Amino acid sequence: MSLKLIFTAALCAALFTGGGSALAQSSPKTSPATAKPAATPAPASAPIDCPAQGADAIEKTLLAAPTCGASVRLLKACAFGSSADVQLAQKVVNKCEARFSRRISKQRYRAYRAAQARCNARYGKMQGTMYQSLAAICRAEAAARTARVARRR
């Protein structure tokens, strides 16, 4: 990873995890004494720490998760950022596909396969195991979205 990319990621993480900026605190039209602090929206799903250490323990944790969405959140929290994530993500994809494989229409299944192909196309031309990991996580997210849609029907 380049130093610029690492710095940019760290800066974004600091801003989005509560580091905030002075611009959000007050505006030039109000005096600092009357400025109200900016309301921070609650995150859709709070970041979680990986509850397991080691690939085997992580795999068991992913398979034990109650929903596909929970499995994907755990996968993201436990990701190594390398090609090892491909196997873990495939376990999540298999789990999600088992939940929707017989319950969706052919049109929905084609849309799911197209989403999988977009993940592969997005990261397929990039070199490095980090991009293999990102593509695998993207495919797991697509499977979880499809499972969530199938559950609603």
Give me the tens of pLDDT residue by residue for the chain, a chain 153 residues long.
Answer: 444 444 344 433 443 344 433 333 333 444 444 444 444 444 555 667 888 888 889 999 999 999 899 999 999 999 999 888 999 999 999 999 998 887 788 999 999 999 999 999 999 889 989 999 999 999 999 999 999 888 776
Could you tell me which residues come within 8 angstroms of residue 109 by beta carbon, excluding any fewer than 6 positions away?
none
Which has the closest alpha carbon to 119: 86, 151, 77?
86
Of 7, 5, 10, 11, the C-alpha closest to 128 is 5
The structure's pTM equals 0.67
Other Cβ atoms closer than 10 A to 137: 22
Cα separation, 49 vs 9, whole angstroms: 18
Which residue from 75, 86, 8 is spatially nearest to 48, judged by alpha carbons?
Answer: 75
